[in-house]
Amino acid sequence: MAESAQPQVAAQPGGSGRSNVLTSYDPRTGETVGNYAVMGAGEINRTVRAGRAAEKWWAELGFSGRKRWLLDWKRDIARRAGELVEILSEETGKPEADAAIEVMLAVENLDWAARNAARALGRHKLGSTWLTRNQQASVGYLPLGVIGVLGPWNNPVFTPMGSIAYAMAAGNTVVFKPHELTTGVGVWLADSWARLAPNQPVLQVVTGDHATGNALCRAKVDKIAYAGSDAGAREVIALCTQTMTPVVVERSGKGSMVVHVDAKLDDAAEAAVFGAMANAGQNATGIQRAYVAESVYEPFLELVVAQAAKLRPGADKRASYGPMILESQVEVVRRQIRDALARGGRAVVGGLDSIREPYIEPVVLAEVPEESLAITGEGIGPVLVVNKVTSMEDAAQRINAVGNDVAVSVFTRDVHEIETFAEHLRVGVVTINSSTAYAGIPALPFGGVGEYGQGHSHGDQGLREFSHTLAIARKRYKAPVNLSTFDRHPRHLRLAKTIFRIRHGRRT
């Protein structure tokens, strides 16, 4: 189990004094993965202009034309998936199986977006009222133009594809800036499109560091899609405000689980451990904390302890998960564990000695006060908090008080009452008797509430995020009761008032 001997990303200075080469490293071994240019504002602007040049061709293909191109691209990615899986594993340290699953989920989203864009965005008729029967109304959705996508480091294929595929299917061109830790996967995706359409830069990649991402925000694209940390989200929003560029934001962090008194505890414990520990706890669709009914708390905790204790991080094929991808995140996890223990929580699996950089062995904390950083902070790392609650209402209040959940998983056999319970939660997604599986449903919109995020990815809402609405109303014939004129006949107004009273003044 070799530790990284150097930073995962290093920038080499150029003659101008500014770093112009980005070198990425395998977090498991410290070996070099690749070298990439650090692109400046001038290069970013030229890339955006190239996207503008391709925009007209791509939009005019229409839904059916774009569908053919996107499905061809999907097939190329699928045939070469082994290459992408290898790069993904090298840049993140993920086990091959985890990397393969991420690529498969990303391709499923590309396929769904290509096949469903026409249905979700195509022009369709709208109904009218008795006052406007002579009007024919319709609504459709048109592309915005050039979309900037800022990718994360934790799921660098699946997460940005939730914006890239949907933006392209809606008729936009895309400029993708992958995270500096995972630049290679972004370059691979852009190259795969370039093989298919070398003269049409519908998807382009820009490489570089933090400043490169900021330059993309300032490049006056038509929308920015960002996924990453809370601090990064606030910075992107502030930068885009300067140019009035709209933003779709997916902040990092994880969700919660609620275990009701009648839950199948084996299933709930399995889902909690997988949701908390998979990808070293670096999944935005995962589980940060479980709120468990008092009467089943101890047996649930015993099951969680037994399952978590069997897991082992590492670099070999039999490892349960890989290293922490972002080096600085190790200290964040250490700080959260230390704070939870200092406030009276107890470690039932692992603890501070579980941190052996770049790996963190499973940590399960019990009875952690709600004000602890392990609960209020962004939950990135293989740490699960298990707390007891007195009721479902108690669980809902605790979840809403923290307000940083991506999703909530509820385990119960009484599924009929869950929809009512779900409506009391300030989250965008609620799942029943499963945890992370919802991420594999492309039609399911994924988005947060309040400070968690702005906008949606996936599903019809994800397609419409990258479109603007065009409503059209057409007069078909002269209205028998015409009120839209200064020369309206008094008889028309009397008739309209009578019909109005009949329609809306009577109890039905």
The pLDDT of residue 87 = 97
Ranges 22-31, 70-79, 384-393: which has the least confidence: 22-31
For residues 68-72, average pLDDT: 98
Ranges 165-174, 288-297, 392-401, 488-497: which has the least confidence: 488-497
**Cα distances (Å, whole numbers) of residue 62 to 59, 68, 118, 121, 122:** 6, 10, 9, 11, 10
The pLDDT of residue 489 = 87
CA atoms of 69 and 72, how far apart (whole Å)? 5
Q: What torsion, rounded to 10 degrees, do the Cα atoms 474, 476, 477, 478 define?
A: -10
The pLDDT of residue 12 = 52
CA atoms of 116 and 305, how far apart (whole Å)? 43
* Residue pointed to by tokens 């409506």: 423
The residue among 222, 210, 96 whose CA lies nearest residue 148 is 222
The pLDDT tens digits of the residues spanning 206-262 come to 999 999 999 999 999 999 999 998 889 999 999 999 999 999 998 777 889 999 999
The residue among 332, 417, 414, 347 whose CA lies nearest residue 379 is 332
Q: Hey, what amino acid is at 459?
A: G
CA atoms of 389 and 508, how far apart (whole Å)? 45
**Backbone angles phi and psi of 6, in degrees to 5:** -155, 170
- The count of other CB atoms within 10 Å of the CB of residue 54 is 18
- Asked if the model's pLDDT at residue 175 lies above 50, the reply is yes
For residues 392-396, average pLDDT: 94
The residue among 164, 142, 198 whose CA lies nearest residue 70 is 164
The DSSP secondary-structure symbol of 505 reads S
> Where do the H-state alpha helices sit in 410-489?
418-422, 459-464
C-beta of residue 422 within 8 angstroms of C-beta of residue 399:
no
The pLDDT of residue 453 = 59
- Pairing verdict, β 287-293 and 255-259: parallel
Let me know how long the chain is: 508
With a threshold of 0.85, does the pTM exceed it? yes
C-beta of residue 6 within 8 angstroms of C-beta of residue 23:
no
**Which residues, other chains included, contact 252 with Cβ-Cβ below 8 Å and sequence gap of 6+?**
152, 154, 227, 228, 229, 230, 284, 378, 380
For residues 107-124, average pLDDT: 98
**End-to-end Cα, the chain, rounded Å:** 73
The pLDDT tens digits of the residues spanning 320-378 come to 999 999 999 999 999 999 999 999 999 999 999 999 999 999 999 999 999 999 999 98
- Asked if the model's pLDDT at residue 1 lies above 50, the reply is no
For residues 186-198, average pLDDT: 97
The pLDDT of residue 237 = 93
- Asked if the model's pLDDT at residue 381 lies above 80, the reply is yes
The DSSP secondary-structure symbol of 358 reads T
The residue among 42, 32, 26, 41 whose CA lies nearest residue 12 is 32
- Asked if the model's pLDDT at residue 152 lies above 70, the reply is yes
Two tokens at 155? Answer: 């799921």
Two tokens at 232? Answer: 């990064």
User: pLDDT: is 70 or 489 the higher one?
Assistant: 70
**Which residues, other chains included, contact 157 with Cβ-Cβ below 8 Å and sequence gap of 6+?**
84, 88, 102, 103, 106, 185, 189
The pLDDT tens digits of the residues spanning 21-69 come to 899 889 999 999 999 999 999 999 999 999 999 999 999 999 999 999 9
User: pLDDT: is 377 or 447 the higher one?
Assistant: 377
